């Protein structure tokens, strides 16, 4: 669908305002890039050394080798591995930051944070063979954080958390040499192998890509999720509001955007500070309104029901409302365009991480030692900025949709009465035909939210339970699909289950690192049934994916045995060898494999066919 930029009415209204005001957005910059580089689209360009840049002619008339002799297959495989490594690094570095914060809580350095979920702390301690008897929470937390920080460069063979996969899956990984030996190590090795003149075997490169991605999905991301739960509490179902209409006309509006809950959780606390609320009122505002964007939005909506202002392509649109006093960011998925855009308004663009600085941003360094004080300082900057708002330039679309989020594994178990058996029974008796995980971003290459929403609707109508994270989940929130009432759109089997349990047919399981929650559920179901994850009637999809993190996610989901459909085309088609490997041979090797399907209806059909095949093989 190309005739409209978005199916989100709020986005369309804001794009109209942007057009009237002559303000550019990602959609305009995407158009200005046309035609995009054909070599790049196919993955056929290389800049890995200074004999290059080199490119391979896909039509066979021009060069078929780089200066070093690298073929198109080698170049495509190397480029893909670098993308996986960057994505795995991003998730895992986020994970490390959260674990380090737990360490600082344990040593008393991060006094503004506390251990909120002691049960999870103890369960993790048991997993890492740490004694909890007669010890204080801080003692346990310190030893656990030390053990987990060791996982990033471990020398003990392979990382501990892969023990969570069913035995059959572990055997496959062992046989193929895919057990990750340490999270940092796999990323470093990916960079080493892709250096000029090192690994020049496409299959060997891709297999390492799978190992590197497993160190993310079953390592860095999983640890980010678990330790965020330890620090901030394990999410439980919570109601909230979504879309740009959550920005308030008469309040000090602060948009928090990025990924790590370490910052956003403190902003949530500081925004309630009576002194700051009074300061906002003294300047004529009704109060302080904190809203989230992208995954940091997901983190705080999952735990506090903080409104979600939107997903990836709405970050600029939020500023164009003219009603944001501040946009506060940490790391990942933050467009560098925001600085220049914020300067067209009174909006302060505040960066906080030493890892992520931006043109046009005010940098307020955030660290765990003075977290609440820094968060207060940031909120104060926003409050003091309120009188600078030009009321004539404010336009806030009225679109607001309610959602229910917070479906952690623990929350799902609680709803099911303590075990997964009711879910497994529903799958066996076909009330639930299968489970599809829809994840990932928005991409201006396709109509915003169109692929997400149409895939979700097709799948639930055919009794497939949908679980979501990231910007995909926000798309569903905005469309009202995260409400129990959306069961009306589900097939009779799924609708019956939703009504009996009071849940929506689409479960919001969190931010992108929380895809690990989905893996954990899949592993647990496989364990109960005594089969491998690859045997389950389960599939994955990234209908509008953008980021390198999504490439790592796709790789570890496939490596875990799950069929995955991509809705935007990855830069691999320049190599027949790599394309075949990902879309066919992977099935024989790891059970999971990729399909690329840009049409959401056909993509949903692929998933349903896959689910039915798996059901037939299981005899259910
Ligand atoms: O990690 S879905 S645009 S915000 S990458 Fe980014 Fe994509 Fe959104 Fe979260 Ni995930
Ligand atoms: Fe060219 Fe080979 Fe250098 Fe890549 S590594 S830029 S293909 S010479």
- What confidence category does residue 593 fall into, taking pLDDT thresholds of 50, 70 and 90? very high
Q: What 8-state DSSP symbol labels residue 3?
A: S
Please indicate, yes or no, whether residues 105 and 203 belong to a single structural domain of this protein: yes
Average pLDDT of the residues in 523-537:
97
Q: Which residues line ligand 2 (CB under 6 A)?
A: 46-49, 51-54, 66-68, 70, 75, 196
159 within some domain: yes
pTM beyond 0.85: the answer is: yes
Instruction: Please tell me the predicted confidence (pLDDT) of residue 154.
Output: 81
Please indicate, yes or no, whether residues 368 and 491 belong to a single structural domain of this protein: no
209 within some domain: yes
For 257, phi then psi, to 5°, come to: -140, 140
The residues that bridge with 110 in the sheet, in sequence order, are none
CB distance 289 to 353 below 8 Å: no
Please give the distance, rounded to the nearest whole angstrom, from the Cα atom of residue 317 to the centre of ligand 1: 17
492 within some domain: yes
Instruction: Please tell me the predicted confidence (pLDDT) of residue 155.
Output: 81
Helices (H), 253-364: 261-270, 274-282, 294-304, 315-320, 338-343
168-217 pLDDT, tens digit each:
999 999 999 999 999 999 999 999 999 999 999 999 999 999 999 999 99
Please indicate, yes or no, whether residues 248 and 152 belong to a single structural domain of this protein: no
- What confidence category does residue 1 fall into, taking pLDDT thresholds of 50, 70 and 90? low
Question: How far is the C-alpha of 86 from the C-alpha of 537, rounded, in Å?
Answer: 30
Please indicate, yes or no, whether residues 468 and 516 belong to a single structural domain of this protein: yes
Give the SS3 label for residue 510.
Answer: coil
Please indicate, yes or no, whether residues 488 and 604 belong to a single structural domain of this protein: yes
Q: Assign residue 603 a region (left: φ > 0; alpha: ψ between -120 and 50; beta: otherwise).
A: alpha
Ligand 1 contact via 257 beta carbon (within 6 Å): no
**How many degrees, rounded to 5, is the angle at CA 455 between CA 559 and CA 471?**
70
42 within some domain: no
Run of H or E including 225: helix 221-232
For residue 134, the domain's CATH number is: 1.20.1270.30
Please indicate, yes or no, whether residues 202 and 162 belong to a single structural domain of this protein: yes
Please indicate, yes or no, whether residues 371 and 505 belong to a single structural domain of this protein: no
Please give the distance, rounded to the nearest whole angstrom, from the Cα atom of residue 153 to the centre of ligand 2: 30
Nearest Cα to 483, choosing from 261, 241, 308?
Answer: 241
Q: What's the number of domains the chain is made of?
A: 3
Please indicate, yes or no, whether residues 100 and 156 belong to a single structural domain of this protein: yes
Domain boundary residue, one of 207, 232, 257: 232
CB distance 210 to 178 below 8 Å: yes
Question: How far is the C-alpha of 278 from the C-alpha of 271, rounded, in Å?
Answer: 11
**Beta strand 434-438 with 464-468: parallel, antiparallel or unpaired?**
parallel
Ligand 1 contact via 267 beta carbon (within 6 Å): no
**Boundaries of domain holding 336:** 244-393
320 within some domain: yes
Please give the distance, rounded to the nearest whole angstrom, from the Cα atom of residue 475 to the centre of ligand 1: 12
Instruction: Please tell me the predicted confidence (pLDDT) of residue 367.
Output: 87
**How many degrees, rounded to 5, is the angle at CA 88 between CA 85 and CA 93?**
120
- What confidence category does residue 2 fall into, taking pLDDT thresholds of 50, 70 and 90? low
Domain boundary residue, one of 174, 206, 232: 232
551 within some domain: yes
126-158 pLDDT, tens digit each:
999 999 999 999 999 999 999 999 999 988 899
The residues that bridge with 257 in the sheet, in sequence order, are 293, 329
Supply the DSSP string of 559-613, one letter for each residue. Answer: HTT-EEEESS--TTTT-HHHHHIIIIIHHHHHS--EEE--SHHHHHHHHHHHHHH
Read off the tokens for 363. Answer: 């940098």
Question: How far is the C-alpha of 262 from the C-alpha of 349, rounded, in Å?
Answer: 19
For 242, phi then psi, to 5°, come to: -135, 165
Ligand 1 contact via 547 beta carbon (within 6 Å): yes
Please give the distance, rounded to the nearest whole angstrom, from the Cα atom of residue 193 to the centre of ligand 2: 13
Residue nearest to atom 1 of ligand 1 (CA): 512
Residue nearest to atom 3 of ligand 2 (CA): 49
Domain boundary residue, one of 195, 210, 232: 232
pLDDT averaged over every residue in the chain: 97
316-371 pLDDT, tens digit each:
999 999 999 999 999 999 999 999 999 999 999 999 999 999 999 999 999 889 99
Please indicate, yes or no, whether residues 386 and 431 belong to a single structural domain of this protein: no
Please give the distance, rounded to the nearest whole angstrom, from the Cα atom of residue 440 to the centre of ligand 1: 6
52 within some domain: no
Residue 3 has pLDDT above 90, yes or no: no
- Which is the closest atom of ligand 1 to the Cα of 332? 6
For residue 322, the domain's CATH number is: 3.40.50.2030
Please indicate, yes or no, whether residues 463 and 609 belong to a single structural domain of this protein: yes
Run of H or E including 309: strand 308-310
Nearest Cα to 226, choosing from 147, 309, 321?
Answer: 147
Residue 501 has pLDDT above 80, yes or no: yes
Please indicate, yes or no, whether residues 216 and 311 belong to a single structural domain of this protein: no
Residue 311 has pLDDT above 70, yes or no: yes
101 within some domain: yes
Q: What 8-state DSSP symbol labels residue 179?
A: S
Please give the distance, rounded to the nearest whole angstrom, from the Cα atom of residue 198 to the centre of ligand 2: 12
Question: How far is the C-alpha of 19 from the C-alpha of 32, rounded, in Å?
Answer: 15
Please indicate, yes or no, whether residues 549 and 607 belong to a single structural domain of this protein: yes
**Beta strand 54-55 with 45-46: parallel, antiparallel or unpaired?**
antiparallel
Residue nearest to atom 7 of ligand 2 (CA): 66
């Amino acid at each position: 669908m190309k005739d409209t930029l978005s199916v989100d009415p709020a986005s369309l209204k804001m794009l109209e305002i942007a057009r009237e005001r002559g303000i550019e957005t990602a959609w305009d910059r995407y158009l200005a890039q046309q035609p995009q580089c054909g070599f790049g689209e196919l993955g056929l360009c290389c800049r890995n050394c200074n004999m290059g840049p080199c490119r391979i002619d896909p039509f066979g008339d021009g060069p078929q080798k780089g200066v070093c002799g690298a073929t198109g297959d080698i170049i495509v495989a190397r480029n893909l591995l670098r993308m996986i490594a960057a994505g795995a690094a991003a998730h895992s570095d986020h994970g490390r930051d959260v674990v380090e914060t737990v360490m600082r809580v344990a040593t008393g350095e991060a006094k503004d944070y506390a251990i909120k979920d002691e049960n999870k702390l103890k369960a993790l301690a048991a997993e890492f063979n740490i004694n909890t008897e007669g010890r204080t929470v801080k003692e346990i937390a310190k030893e656990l954080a030390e053990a987990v920080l060791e996982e990033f460069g471990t020398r003990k063979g392979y990382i501990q958390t892969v023990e969570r996969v069913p035995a059959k899956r572990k055997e496959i990984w062992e046989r193929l040499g895919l057990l990750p030996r340490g999270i940092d190590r796999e990323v470093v090795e990916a960079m080493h192998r892709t250096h000029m003149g090192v690994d020049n075997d496409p299959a060997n490169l891709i297999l390492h890509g799978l190992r590197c991605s497993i160190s993310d999905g079953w390592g860095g991301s999983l640890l980010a999720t678990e330790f965020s739960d330890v620090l901030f509490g394990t999410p439980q179902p919570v109601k909230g509001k979504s879309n740009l209409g959550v920005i308030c006309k008469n309040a000090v509006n602060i948009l928090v955007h990025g990924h790590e809950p370490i910052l956003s959780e403190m902003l949530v606390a500081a925004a309630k500070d009576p002194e700051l609320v009074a300061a906002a009122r003294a300047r004529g505002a009704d109060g302080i309104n904190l809203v989230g964007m992208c995954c940091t939005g997901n983190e705080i909506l999952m735990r506090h029901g903080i409104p979600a202002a939107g997903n990836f392509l709405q970050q600029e649109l939020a500023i164009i409302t003219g009603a944001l006093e501040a946009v506060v960011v940490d790391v990942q998925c933050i467009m560098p365009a925001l600085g220049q855009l914020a300067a067209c308004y009174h909006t302060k663009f505040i960066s906080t991480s030493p890892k992520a600085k931006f043109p046009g941003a005010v940098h307020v360094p955030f660290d765990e030692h003075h977290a609440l004080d820094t968060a207060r300082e940031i909120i104060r900057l926003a409050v003091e900025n309120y009188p600078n708002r030009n009321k004539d330039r404010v336009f806030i679309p009225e679109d607001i949709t309610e959602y229910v989020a917070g479906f952690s594994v623990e929350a799902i178990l609680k709803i099911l009465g303590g075990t997964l058996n009711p879910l497994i029974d529903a799958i066996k008796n076909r009330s639930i035909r299968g489970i599809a995980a829809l994840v990932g971003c928005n991409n201006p290459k396709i109509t915003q939210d169109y692929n997400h929403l149409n895939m979700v609707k097709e799948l639930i109508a055919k009794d497939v339970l949908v679980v979501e994270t990231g910007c995909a989940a926000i798309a569903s929130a905005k469309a009202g699909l995260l409400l129990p009432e959306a069961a009306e759109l589900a097939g009779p089997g799924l609708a019956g289950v939703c009504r009996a349990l009071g849940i929506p047919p689409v479960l919001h399981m969190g931010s992108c690192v929380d895809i690990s929650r989905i893996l954990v559920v899949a592993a647990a179901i496989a364990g109960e049934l005594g089969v491998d994850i690859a045997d389950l009637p389960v599939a994955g999809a990234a209908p509008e994916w953008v980021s390198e993190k999504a490439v790592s996610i796709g790789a570890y989901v496939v490596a875990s045995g799950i069929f995955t459909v991509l809705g935007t085309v990855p830069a691999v088609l320049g190599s027949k060898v790599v394309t075949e490997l990902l879309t066919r041979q992977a099935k024989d090797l790891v059970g999971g494999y990729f399909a690329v399907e840009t049409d959401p209806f056909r993509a949903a059909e692929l998933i349903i066919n896959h689910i039915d095949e798996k059901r037939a093989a299981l005899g259910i």
